[in-house]
Copies of this chain bind each other. A is one copy, B any other.
Amino acid sequence: MSVLVSISIFPLDKGESVSNYVARAVKVIKDSGYPYRVSPMETTFETETLEEALAVIRKCFEVMEPDCNRIICNVKVDYRKGRTLGIISKLKSLEEKMGESIEKGLNL
């Protein structure tokens, strides 16, 4: 089974530059050890169970709670039985259907 989760989380009480805070959540996700990808509007990771996914989301809040008064978070879940490593296979499938390559990332 595959639980694909994308999360966007940031404080509302810290002004318009929030990357310092977003970085904390991305570090939580990176350190979780699950496959993940950071994109410009959210970070996606993949677990095998919903429990694992919710535990990561909880930790993302935990690293913001100490000094943030208001936190806005958006989560998308794509839960699918019988899928493996959807974080890769979804884009692969897309390219096959399109018959052409797509921009799948960044080289900074």
A residues sitting closer than 8 Å to B (CB atoms) are 4, 6, 8, 10, 12-13, 15-16, 18-20, 22-23, 26-27, 30, 36-42, 44, 50-51, 54, 57-58, 61, 65, 69-82, 86-88, 90-95, 97-98, 100, 102-108
Contact = CB atoms under 8 A, between A and B. Distances in A.
Given A16-B12, A19-B93, A58-B50, A26 B102 contact: yes
18 contacts: A4-B40, A12-B16, A19-B94, A23-B97, A36-B103, A37-B39, A37-B104, A37-B105, A38-B102, A40-B88, A42-B42, A42-B76, A54-B57, A72-B77, A74-B75, A75-B75, A75-B76, A105-B107
A100 B108 CA distance: 13
A38 to B, nearest CB: 5
Contact of A42 (B41, B54, B77, B80): B41
A37 B38 contact: no
A79 B97 contact: no
Copies of this subunit: 4
A44 B40 contact: yes
